[in-house]
Amino acid sequence: MSVRSVVLFDIDGTLVGGGPAKDAFVDAMVEIYGTTGDASNVSFAGKTDPQIARELLTGVGLSDEDISAGFDALWGRYLANLEALLPDRPVSVLPGVPELLESLADRADIGVGLLTGNIAGGARLKLSSGGLWGQFAFGSYGSDHEHRDELPSIALGRARALWGGHIEPEAAIVVGDTPRDVQCGKVGRTRTLAVATGSYTVDDLAATNPDHLLEDLTSTRAVVEMLVG
């Protein structure tokens, strides 16, 4: 049986929680730009890593040109910091996630990928910390595009490269814990499953009108049925 549909998972708040990523990011900002901006009052939820950095640095007066010029160095320092901190502060895999991924791995008709604001290296380090990295055949990342709404089309392009040109947006579903996950799915014309395992409540997420809405991912059979559509 060939792949007929793809599931695109967000990472933070959807698959895993905790870990030292914010500290690693803030330290890298200081090392490269000399400032973190107002990191304590800016939400990271649902944003790409480049978007977060640009918002923080624009807020303290840096130009877009100067911000972009430092990105390569910033990501290098961030990944080095993250790799150094993760052994003592690993991420926590959220309830139901291992069972869900195992169930999906048994389905030859479903391709399992990532759609995340993390840069690719950060996604790899976080998911490796939780023992999940090998579960995903492909992904789209914050390092692919600064705007999350562009990531569904990138992910679908990679899915087609793996499994052929027949996978349309309607055959994909974005799974995430923030309104931005739902929004990017709508922009990309995919289906959406919102899960209240991050910083947004069920009511918060219901207001975004996802196709499906759950408190968590613990009911494996029910979740797979939603994902398959």
Q: What is the CATH number of the domain that holds 57?
A: 1.10.150.240
Give the phi and the psi of residue 87 in degrees, each rounded to 5.
-55, -35
The domain that contains 13 carries what CATH number?
3.40.50.1000
Query: Within this chain, do residues 54 and 147 fall inside the same structural domain, yes or no?
Result: no
Confidence category of residue 91, pLDDT binned at 50, 70, 90:
very high
If asked whether residues 37 and 137 sit together in one domain, one would say no
**How much of the chain exceeds pLDDT 90, in percent?**
89
- Whether 157 and 174 share a structural domain: yes
Question: Does 99 lie in the same domain as 41?
Answer: no
pLDDT in tens, 164-215: 878 999 999 999 999 999 999 999 999 999 999 999 999 999 999 999 999 9
Rounded to 5 degrees, what angle do the CA atoms 13, 202, 215 make? Answer: 65
Model confidence pLDDT, tens digit, residues 135-167: 999 999 999 999 999 999 999 999 999 998 789
- Cα separation, 7 vs 190, whole angstroms: 10
Do 189 and 173 share a structural domain?
A: yes
145, 75: one domain: no
Query: Who contacts 184 (Cβ-Cβ below 8 Å, separation ≥6)?
Result: 115, 148, 149, 151, 152, 174
* Pairing verdict, β 16-17 and 92-93: antiparallel
pLDDT tens sequence across 37-84 = 887 777 778 899 999 999 999 989 999 999 999 999 999 999 999 999
Range of the domain at 54: 21-85
Whether residues 139 and 43 fall in one domain: no
Q: Tell me the pLDDT tens digit for each residue of 14-23.
A: 999 999 999 9
Q: Is 147 left (phi over 0), alpha (psi -120 to 50) or beta?
A: beta
Q: How many domains does the chain contain in total?
A: 2
- Is residue 145 domain-shared with residue 200, that is, in the same domain? yes
How many angstroms separate the CA atoms of 218 and 226, rounded?
Answer: 13
pLDDT band with cut points at 50, 70 and 90 for residue 120: very high
pTM tops 0.85: yes
pLDDT value of residue 2: 83
